[in-house]
Structure 1
Amino acid sequence: MTDDRSDSRIAQAHTAAAELRVLIGKLKRRLRERMALDGITLSQLSVLSHLDREGPATISELARVENVRPQSMGATVAGMQAAGLLNGEPDPGDGRRHLLSLTPMAREKIRTTRAAREDWLFHAIRERYNASEQDALARGIGLLKRLVDD
């Protein structure tokens, strides 16, 4: 005999997973709309974000992370270097490789983009939710963190 509560919890978890996936996709699109890309493609933005989080990397490392061929990443990186977003210098451990890092201009673009997205979120939360809903949202964020924290 099956436990009806167990079955309903399983169904609830499936529904929550599907709704959360859709919701996160919509939130990502909304945040993307708030970005000041200034001619930066989404693949370039992904490279900038990776270098900001993880530090300098080679073209091969970036290609592996972005799941593209090194030749494709080389073209992306060349455009970013020409735009003044990346610096390249020999790897101190292996002079045959070049490490790519962010320029001050790239760091400023990242900072302003993040600030614009956080500002939109801040205003949306303040305008759309009352105090008790904001408290519930804050508690929900803690629960969501547990999904991604190891």
Structure 2
Amino acid sequence: MSESPARSAVEASQRIRTVVGRLRRRILNAASAEDITLAQVSVLTHLTRSPGRTVSELAAADGVRHQSMTSTISSLHTRGLVERAPDPTDRRRMLITLTAEGHRRVAEGRQLRQEWLTGQLQDRCTEEERHLVIAAMTVLERLTLD
């Protein structure tokens, strides 16, 4: 039988999940233009990391239904941010990729997110607190290593 986790481990786990989730939403909202939804930002981000994905793959990556992802992709296509092309190995499948404008919007969003978070750290934290954040990130990074 395994030992119960330390109370501090349980509390740290709960707080990390809460804060990381809230911070992620705030960062995304800070950089989100009025004409683009968080779901669309997520798709653009996925396509930056892994271009040429199918609607099914994107839906699975975001944890949404195929129908919802189809709607999101259609909206992005209408705005000229993504394009569809037949898969060269299976012409029945359509691969989604970013257009030049899509790449530009992703880069712009990254810059806005960086500026927002930098501003928050500058305006709301002392120098000592910023160093504590850096130290905490070192610990959190260790949790993500395999």
* TM-score (norm: length of structure 2): 0.86
Indicate whether 1:90 and 2:82 are aligned: no
CA offset digits 1:54-104 (Å, max 9, x no partner): 221011211222233323322221121111011111111111111110111
Count residues with an aligned counterpart: 144
Q: Which moved more, 1:34-43 or 1:106-115?
A: 34-43
- Counterpart Cα distance in 1 of 2:59 and 2:22: 27
The answer to whether the 8 A contact 2:32-2:41 is kept is no
The answer to whether the 8 A contact 2:52-2:95 is kept is yes
Pick the structure with greater CA Rg.
1
What RMSD in Å do the two structures reach over aligned CA positions?
2.0
What amino acid maps onto 2:112 in structure 1? Answer: A
The answer to whether the 8 A contact 2:59-2:65 is kept is yes
The answer to whether the 8 A contact 2:86-2:93 is kept is yes
Deviation of 1:35 (Å): 1.5
Deviation of 1:110 (Å): 1.2
Pairs within 5 Å for 1:37-56: 37-56=33-52
Indicate whether 1:130 and 2:126 are aligned: yes
Deviation of 1:122 (Å): 1.3
- Counterpart Cα distance in 2 of 1:93 and 1:32: 35
Q: Which moved more, 1:104-113 or 1:132-141?
A: 132-141
Counterpart pick for 1:59 among 55, 62, 65: 55
Q: Which segments of 5 or more consecutive residues in structure 1 lack a partner in the other structure?
A: 1-5
Secondary structure class of the residue paired with 2:6: helix
